């Protein structure tokens, strides 16, 4: 039976896997997340794989591990946007996105013994037209820190958003439909792992 390891310290990603009912452990990857590629899809796939490979090399043993790596960026008008450096940076990013649409891209990598799977999901997100006071009030909550694009759709940042097209969990940072597809490709018996907290005899 494969043991799942999440190569991320992100509490949002941990919560998503917990909500799915998966048993897993967390090992934080030690990698350079510098944005050094112009193509956002290639970038998030590369960083997700780099994180998963880094953790897999740390824990590799006789046990059967499956490591999940993920990376999320914002793509807007030909620019890749990562995590804000400070409040002024967050204000600049959110001001630019106000009243406009941007793409959230999350790369996923799944590594097991002898197998590697890499993919990417995309979601179109449109912000409301925001006043400067609204933007600064949101930034003052400090929720922008460590978030691609400077906002958290699952938190107070939800009030910034007018609509989305695509996966909500992708915007949070862990696209569940894509993850399940990739786990199945890795021959994981995912049906037995999902919703583990539910009573298997609920239907008699």
Q: How far is the C-alpha of 113 from the C-alpha of 65, rounded, in Å?
A: 7
**What would the two tokens of residue 84 be?**
């804000």
Q: How far is the C-alpha of 77 from the C-alpha of 188, rounded, in Å?
A: 38
Task: Write the DSSP symbol of residue 2.
Answer: P
189 is catalytic: no
Give φ, ψ of 75 to 5 degrees: -120, 120
Task: Return the beta strands (E) in 48-201 as ranges.
Answer: 65-76, 79-81, 101-112, 115-127, 161-165
Indicate which residue of 38, 39, 64, 71 is catalytic.
Answer: 71
Known catalytic residues are: 71
């Amino acid at each position: 039976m494969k043991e799942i390891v999440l190569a991320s310290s992100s509490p949002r990603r941990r919560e998503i896997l917990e909500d799915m009912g998966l048993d897993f452990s967390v090992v934080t990857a030690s990698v350079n997340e510098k944005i050094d590629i112009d193509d956002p899809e290639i970038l998030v796939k590369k960083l997700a794989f780099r994180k998963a490979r880094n953790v897999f090399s740390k824990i590799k043993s006789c046990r059967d591990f499956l490591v999940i790596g993920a990376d999320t960026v914002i793509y807007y008008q030909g620019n890749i946007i990562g995590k804000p450096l400070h409040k002024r940076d967050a204000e600049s990013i959110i001001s630019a996105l106000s009243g406009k649409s941007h793409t959230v891209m999350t790369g996923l990598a799944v590594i097991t013994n002898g197998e590697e799977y890499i993919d990417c999901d995309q979601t179109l997100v449109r912000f409301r037209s925001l006043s400067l006071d609204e933007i600064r009030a949101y930034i003052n909550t400090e929720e922008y820190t460590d978030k691609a694009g400077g906002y958290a759709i699952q938190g107070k940042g939800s009030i910034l958003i007018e609509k989305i097209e695509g996966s909500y969990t992708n915007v949070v940072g862990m696209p569940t439909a894509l993850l399940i597809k990739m786990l199945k490709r890795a021959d994981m018996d995912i049906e037995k792992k999902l919703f583990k907290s539910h009573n298997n005899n609920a239907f008699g």
